[in-house]
Structure formats: structure tokens, C-alpha cells
């Protein structure tokens, strides 16, 4: 079993949902991101999605758009993300997911990107704008390099499309909680339970993690009752953004409350 699979299995044995945090690499600097990753590890997070900054983040809301802009202003490249992954791998126990839009991976070359990601200590890759209909070759090449592949489904995905995404996924299947972009929300979608139930039919024994819009302990607790993993990104990035120099403490405090809420 991969490190990512181990993370979900360990959470299952502990009677909780795995906590998956997201950070944009290089926001506001590579050193700051390493500090935040260590804060997540101290808080008890299981998995870190490390985002590759991209110039056209169409799935992201304002918080993550600003994070990508700050990282790009700092001239953070995919090479920098891989180097940062090595440092996070050496300093934490977190399972690492390379979270990217497809373009940076294609520019690098899929085979080269897969080999470099594996060498850097990443455990999986998620290309947020790659549909399962076009993902077979991508998944095959990354799995051949020893990496899990994660695909996304949404409330509008019919059962057959979810089955296609699940067939290409290992580690977990990512369920987007609502239509639209990333960003903290005050409430969860009313049809989330139905979406997760449909995803379970498609995924079989593959773990399911839910993300987009989860920001509070209350919403994390609700999601943890129906999913195997709870994904939080914008709320963590926003906490770091507003805390300034005290960002690591702010992220650790928020993540600790969310991790606790994932217990069943």
C-alpha cells in the first residue's frame, strides 16, 4: 500500500476521516510553505496537497488566486515545487499530493514530471482540469512511476462518469462538494450526501475525500460522517494570509480544530 493509502487506512482504524490540507507552494515564499507544512503535520494532518502556482487557475476562488499570484511573483517554478517536496518529505510524515493544472505538467513532459515527482517524495498527482475521458495515458504514466493518481467528480457527474474517474484513481477519489470555484463557504451543499452516495457506488472500496467550501469544524464534522477524507484549502490559505508573520501558528490552530472535528 502506498503512503497515501496508508494515511486513509490509518484514519479508518482510528475511527476518523483523514484530514487533507492544501497549500500553494511558494506562498508567500518557499520557506514559509515549508513552515506551514510542518504546522499541518504538528496539527495531525494526514495528507498535504501541494499546489503548483499557475497563471490561469480557473477552478480557484479569490483566496487561492491570490496565493498563486504571490507565488508567481516570487518566480516559483515546477522545479522549485519538486525541491520543496523533498524538504517537506524529510521534515514531515505527511503523504504528499502534487496538485497542479495540466499545463505545467505537459510543459515539463509527463514522463519527466512523473519521474521527478516520485524522486522528490510525492505520493500522488492530481491534475485538477484533466477530465477522466482524457486521463488514461496520464494515469498510466504516473502509476508506472510509482505514484497514485487522483481524479475529481462533482455533483453534476453522472454515475458512469464517476465510475470512469474512480477507475483511473488510486489513493482516493476527490468529490467536489458543490459547483463553482474553491473557497470557504458558510454552509454545505444540500445535495452533498446524495453526491457522496453516488460516488461510493462508483468507487467501491476506494476512499472518498470531499473538498471545496469546507472551512469550519462544524462543516468538517458533517463531512467526516459521510466521507473518508476531508479536504480544506482556502480556509488554511486565508488564515496564513491574514496572520502575516504569525501564519504558522494560525494555520496550526485552525488545522488542529479541523483534525479534531474529523473524529467520529
Active site residues: 49, 60
Q: What are the grid coordinates assigned to 41, written together? A: 503535520
Peptide bond before residue 28 is cis, with ω within 30 degrees of 0: yes
Distance CA(243)–CA(231), nearest Å, equals 21
The three-state (H, E, C) secondary structure of 133-193, written as one string: HHCHHHHHHHHHCCCEEECEECCCCCHHHHHHHHHHCCCCEEEECCCCCCCCCCCCCCCHH
Grid cell for residue 230: 476531508
| CA dist., res. 93 & res. 17, Å (int) | 17
Find the radius of gyration of the CA atoms of the chain. Answer: 16
Asked if residues 262 and 231 have their Cβ atoms less than 8 Å apart, the reply is: no
CA 72 from centre of chain: 20
CB count in 10 Å sphere of residue 74: 16
Question: How far is Cα 253 from Cα 82, in angstroms, rounded to an integer?
Answer: 27
Decide: helix, strand or coil at residue 225: coil
Coil/strand/helix, residue 103:
helix
Contact 165, 153 (CB under 8 A): yes
Nearest 5°: the CA angle 121, 200, 262 is 60
- C-alpha cell at position 115: 519521474
Amino acid at each position: 500500500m502506498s503512503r497515501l493509502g496508508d494515511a486513509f487506512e490509518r484514519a479508518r482504524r482510528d475511527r476518523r476521516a483523514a484530514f487533507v490540507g492544501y497549500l500553494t507552494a511558494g506562498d508567500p515564499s518557499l520557506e514559509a510553505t515549508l513552515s506551514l507544512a510542518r504546522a499541518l503535520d504538528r496539527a495531525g494532518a494526514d495528507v498535504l496537497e501541494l499546489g503548483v502556482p499557475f497563471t490561469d487557475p480557473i477552478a480557484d476562488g479569490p483566496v487561492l488566486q491570490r496565493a498563486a499570484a504571490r507565488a508567481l511573483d516570487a518566480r516559483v517554478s515546477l522545479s522549485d515545487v519538486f525541491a520543496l517536496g523533498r524538504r517537506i518529505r524529510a521534515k514531515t510524515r505527511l503523504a504528499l499530493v502534487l496538485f497542479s493544472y495540466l499545463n505545467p505538467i505537459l510543459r515539463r513532459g509527463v514522463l519527466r514530471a512523473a519521474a521527478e515527482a516520485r524522486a522528490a517524495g510525492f505520493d500522488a498527482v492530481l491534475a485538477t482540469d484533466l477530465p477522466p475521458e482524457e486521463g488514461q495515458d496520464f494515469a498510466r504514466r504516473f502509476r508506472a512511476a510509482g505514484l497514485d493518481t487522483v481524479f475529481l467528480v462533482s455533483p453534476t457527474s453522472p454515475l458512469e462518469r464517476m465510475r470512469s474517474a474512480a477507475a483511473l484513481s488510486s489513493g482516493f477519489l476527490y468529490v467536489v462538494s458543490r459547483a463553482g470555484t474553491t473557497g470557504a463557504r458558510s454552509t454545505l451543499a444540500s445535495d452533498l450526501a446524495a453526491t457522496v452516495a453516488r460516488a461510493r457506488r462508483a468507487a467501491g472500496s476506494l476512499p472518498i475525500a470531499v473538498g471545496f467550501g469546507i472551512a469550519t469544524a462544524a462543516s468538517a464534522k458533517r463531512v467526516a460522517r459521510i466521507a473518508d477524507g476531508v479536504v480544506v484549502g482556502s480556509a488554511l490559505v486565508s488564515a496564513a494570509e491574514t496572520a502575516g508573520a504569525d501564519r504558522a501558528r494560525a494555520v496550526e490552530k485552525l488545522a488542529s480544530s479541523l483534525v479534531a472535528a474529523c473524529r467520529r
